[in-house]
Structure 1
């Protein structure tokens, strides 16, 4: 047989292979390099709250088949967050999920991202300008009111107290304080806030130091509300050091595993939160849903997280839970 004839079947096979239509329909990802890239930017990296949130990000990446990862500044610095978003714009990611340190500081860079077709999903920033959608795992007004109810449950309807926040620019912490103070003025008029809100809730050692200062200035202090998952544990540490565990009520947002020893010894009265893992998963799930062409108005549920309520561009899921010494070991994180 001539050489040309021997090669005939191979040539025919190559022609057939090139003639076969692509296996992936338009919009589908053919290779791992074509997956959506969804970056989650947290307020501060390496603390229990955002370590737990990262578990949800990783879970979403595996379940949804997207390139999902988490980054964050070493401290709660708004400027560092802005720089990270700028870097992600340069990378041309598909979506940015973010828990803002400063809503206002991020507005210009969010505008730039959206102009380049990058989706912006926020968490803990419902009034954020420049977002596509915000995801909240609680009703923020109900959450604030319930926190003040917990405070009163511990210290009574009258007395002196202070409030910690992660920072004076952290959107949700300050919204909770605004709503809580408004609620207290109406329902608990005999509560006395001894000083303006104190920014220390993202640093346990700083929270401890601020509590020691409060106790020195106000030895008759009755309670502390702490927003930022390291605020209440820091306050609890200070109370234990001063032999005041159980004598000053401490409530606020905490990670169960981190708060457990303080709850059990009585230096921390009660905690409140949602599971940060759910937040990490939900942000990434909604990002992919929208990137795939899904419409917000059609969204009824986030799988594994719960039914949703849509108010404008804010998605709400009712996932608020109390954390007590009795149930703290049941959460698994």
Structure 2
């Protein structure tokens, strides 16, 4: 088993304030409220609050709200959908909230509304999933490409330098998925004897996830490894392997540490997970917004919440997220 390694803690990756942040100024109304020390309202918009990984993000955002005595509203389009998220954000811009943190369901679709909020003097940061096409002031979260690299490297260490693998994701079109896939492919490309049989887009409905896993594994009986790019197809893969007498026979590397994922690592059905500290992502997004509002402090371009590998050797030291 691969020993867990902390690749990065919470650290800023850029020492200089980015140009977009340097040029940003609060709207007169927000600035007046800040100078009067009024309690601000910050919106934390996640791309799909129905996902299990959203729970610790909400917990973190709401905890920061209590610590800082600010209103932290965790919201987003249940079930996902870029159009719905854009409509919600348009509504918050009209209401004149004091800051917005966004995890984008689509980079291209969300960039214009993010820029619209910034043009109106509302500070906007991204968290969990970045939107590099926008002028967002900072990104609070894991380096997603790097997390994909770690996934690929971890699988190679468990599987060896030859084989055939499948990659699963609940949303192949999402920026976070593209970034992790890119990173995983970068790592695997260093090993020409490893073939990627396919990228399987499961969607995020539980029955569809399981069916997609079953169909893909049955169609590729000679696979020697699996990568899951997300929180939710990962435990479903472990379930499938357990039910079909394959637990422990195929190394499986994925993301996040949901309660079911934790149990499946303990049982040996899943091999390793790459955690991203989702609670801290929600928490620190609110902290950064409050620093902008209350102190006029502009953030660095990226606040990294880290990459940690958890496997059977250390999983019992970690609580589910």
Deviations along 1:255-310, whole A, 9 cap, x unmatched? 242312211222111111121110001111111111234343xx5xxxxxxxxxx4
The unaligned stretches of length 5 or more in structure 1 are: 1-24, 300-309
Answer yes or no: is the 8 Å Cα contact 2:43–2:99 preserved in 1.
yes
Q: Which of 210, 235, 245 lines up with 1:208 in the alignment? A: 210
Q: Which of 272, 275, 296 lines up with 1:273 in the alignment? A: 275
Answer yes or no: is the 8 Å Cα contact 1:29–1:35 preserved in 2.
no
Give distance in 2, aligned partners of 1:26 and 1:79: 31
TM-score after normalising by structure 1: 0.80
Structure 2 residue 304 is the aligned partner of structure 1 residue 317 = yes
Partner of 2:94: 90
Partner of 2:168: 164
Partner of 1:104: 108
Answer yes or no: is the 8 Å Cα contact 2:82–2:105 preserved in 1.
yes
Q: Pairwise CA RMSD of aligned residues?
A: 2.2
Deviations along 1:183-213, whole A, 9 cap, x unmatched? 321x211111112x22236444333221101
Give distance in 1, aligned partners of 2:312 and 2:205: 23
1:242 Cα deviation from its structure 2 partner = 1.7
Answer yes or no: is the 8 Å Cα contact 1:144–1:180 preserved in 2.
yes
The unaligned stretches of length 5 or more in structure 2 are: 1-31
Give distance in 2, aligned partners of 1:329 and 1:161: 28
Structure 2 residue 191 is the aligned partner of structure 1 residue 188 = yes
1:108 Cα deviation from its structure 2 partner = 2.2
Answer yes or no: is the 8 Å Cα contact 2:125–2:140 preserved in 1.
no
1:98 Cα deviation from its structure 2 partner = 1.2
Partner of 1:13: none
Q: 1:115 to 1:217 in 2, by over 3 A?
A: same
Answer yes or no: is the 8 Å Cα contact 2:58–2:74 preserved in 1.
yes
Give distance in 2, aligned partners of 1:284 and 1:64: 9
Q: 1:105 to 1:127 in 2, by over 3 A?
A: closer
TM-score after normalising by structure 2: 0.83
Once the two structures are overlaid, the 10-residue window that deviates more, 93-102 or 315-324, is 315-324
Give distance in 2, aligned partners of 1:222 and 1:119: 47
1:325 Cα deviation from its structure 2 partner = 2.6
Give distance in 1, aligned partners of 2:306 and 2:79: 27
Matches within 5 A, 1:1-333: 27-29=34-36, 34-185=38-189, 187-195=190-198, 197-200=199-202, 202-296=204-298, 310=300, 314-317=301-304, 319-333=306-320
Give distance in 1, aligned partners of 2:151 and 2:280: 21
